[in-house]
Amino acid sequence: MPKIELLHVSKTFDEGKVVANDDVTLSIEDGAFVFLLGPSGCGKTTLLKLISGLETPTSGTILVGGIDLSKLNPEERSIGFVFQHFEIFPAMTVFENVAYGLVVRGYDDETIEKIAEEALRLVSLEGRMLAYPKELSTPELQKVGLARAIATRSKILFLDEPLGKLDPKIRKVFRHELRRLIKSLGLTAIQVTHDQEEAMAIGDQIIVMRQGKILQHGKPEDLYYRPGSIFVANFFGETNFLEGFVSGVGPDSCVFHLHLGGPKFEIKLQHGHQLKNHVQAIIGYRIEDVELIQTKQEEREPGEELDLEEKPRLNTVKGRVREAIFIGPMKRFIIDLENGDEIQAKHSSKFLIDIREGDEILVGFHENPMVFEYPKDIRAELSKA
């Protein structure tokens, strides 16, 4: 039985004028660590509040552990919650902050001490129990918020951008600690983040939301390599989109004609695709999957010929490097294709060190791009909001 199940859940505010969640159906298995991603205002926090019973849905059903949430009273809806704007009480010590929820719930002193100490030990703050919040670093404050959520002893934990205030280096270390902690306690967790890398690095699953709806829910690799829409491909990772039209459409391949009289090349299609001959389409390539091939003889080793036979499946288009930007281990290239399209590529700066601004090159596109039907509103699909 899934741990959390939502059936056609909607939530509106201001007499229906603001739609925060729009017909969300979702199932989360016991023990899964799920990340919730989406533009600001798309309804992430509201969704978590609905599942934790802090807000009531306008319509739909929420089941937690198979039980209808609306039938539970507030004390029974025990979900640990680390809020986006976490409130640590400044006049209370670390211990008192963690114990506060337990005091409110009427536990006896001995139990409170045991649970709060255990929670603080789990986040490695046992040595700071008597410190006041002003004496703590930001990561330590985040840990207090986490310990407070763990102290609820709920098997479900919600984290609304818990690492948001940490600096990037500490954040990268802390995220792995967080995953270990969640897995060792056997929790089912949902975390909101704006950091895609964090979601891919430690999440079992990722949900991408937009305008109150769930666009896609799956494993990180699936979302990255098989995004279901242009929006997801654009929001999640960096993608070059090429416009064109298709011909010779078969069950698993077609010819793609780059627009503005650009060259054409053969690409593979997924079985069951809906493309028809002579319609407009969009293909997508991750920026790290675009190959750059030097064409100038003097750039190659003596005696080495340009051998495209080695890469028989690579479709090539002429291009010119407009910018080559050194970003440490990687180099980002901005390239004007012969038909006027602009694309980007990102590769190890060491291996492509000889490709420079102004160079004429061949750009290699593999035969397995993401393929999308041309959307009704291309601008909306390519916006990140």
Query: 77, 65 in Cβ contact below 8 A?
Result: no
Pick between residue 113 and residue 195 the one whose CB is nearest to ligand ATP. 195
Name the token pair of 214: 């769930």
CB of 301 to ligand ATP, least distance (A): 51
Question: What is the C-alpha to C-alpha distance for residues 65 and 241, in angstroms, rounded to an integer?
Answer: 42
Interaction between residue 385 and ligand ATP (CB under 6 A): no
CB of 42 to ligand ATP, least distance (A): 4
Pick between residue 48 and residue 182 the one whose CB is nearest to ligand ATP. 48
Question: Out of 8, 13, 76, 270, which residue is the one contacting ligand ATP (CB under 6 A)?
Answer: 13
Query: 4, 188 in Cβ contact below 8 A?
Result: yes
From the list 44-52, 279-287, 321-329, 358-366, the region that binds ligand ATP by CB under 6 A is: 44-52
Pick between residue 153 and residue 194 the one whose CB is nearest to ligand ATP. 194
Question: What is the C-alpha to C-alpha distance for residues 271 and 254, in angstroms, rounded to an integer?
Answer: 12
40 binds, among ligand ATP, Mg ion, none (CB under 5 to 8 A by kind): ligand ATP
Interaction between residue 40 and ligand ATP (CB under 6 A): yes
10: region left, alpha or beta (phi > 0 left; psi from -120 to 50 alpha)? beta
CB of 70 to ligand ATP, least distance (A): 19
Question: What is the C-alpha to C-alpha distance for residues 211 and 361, in angstroms, rounded to an integer?
Answer: 41
Query: 266, 315 in Cβ contact below 8 A?
Result: yes
Interaction between residue 67 and ligand ATP (CB under 6 A): no
20 binds, among Mg ion, ligand ATP, none (CB under 5 to 8 A by kind): ligand ATP
From the list 39-47, 63-71, 105-113, 367-375, the region that binds ligand ATP by CB under 6 A is: 39-47
Question: What is the C-alpha to C-alpha distance for residues 382 and 243, in angstroms, rounded to an integer?
Answer: 13
211 binds, among Mg ion, ligand ATP, none (CB under 5 to 8 A by kind): none
* CA diameter of the chain: 83
Interaction between residue 193 and Mg ion (CB under 5 A): no
CB of 167 to Mg ion, least distance (A): 21
Size, binding site for ligand ATP by CB under 6 A:
13
Interaction between residue 42 and ligand ATP (CB under 6 A): yes
Interaction between residue 210 and ligand ATP (CB under 6 A): no
How buried is residue 369: exposed, middle or buried, by Cβ count under 10 Å (0-12/13-18/19+)? buried
Helix (H), strand (E) at residue 255: strand 253-258
Question: Out of 45, 152, 191, 193, which residue is the one contacting ligand ATP (CB under 6 A)?
Answer: 45
52 binds, among Mg ion, ligand ATP, none (CB under 5 to 8 A by kind): none
Return the SS3 of 53: coil
Taking only Cα atoms into account, the Rg of the chain, rounded to an integer number of angstroms, comes to 26
Interaction between residue 45 and Mg ion (CB under 5 A): yes
Name the token pair of 366: 């593999």
Question: Out of 6, 20, 122, 321, which residue is the one contacting ligand ATP (CB under 6 A)?
Answer: 20
Interaction between residue 16 and ligand ATP (CB under 6 A): no
CA quadruple 330, 335, 337, 343: dihedral sign: positive
| Alpha helices, DSSP H, located in the chain | 44-51, 94-104, 109-122, 138-150, 168-184, 196-202, 220-225, 230-235, 378-382
Q: Applying CB under 5 A, which residues contact Mg ion?
A: 45
Q: Applying CB under 6 A, which residues contact ligand ATP?
A: 13-14, 18, 20, 38, 40-46, 84
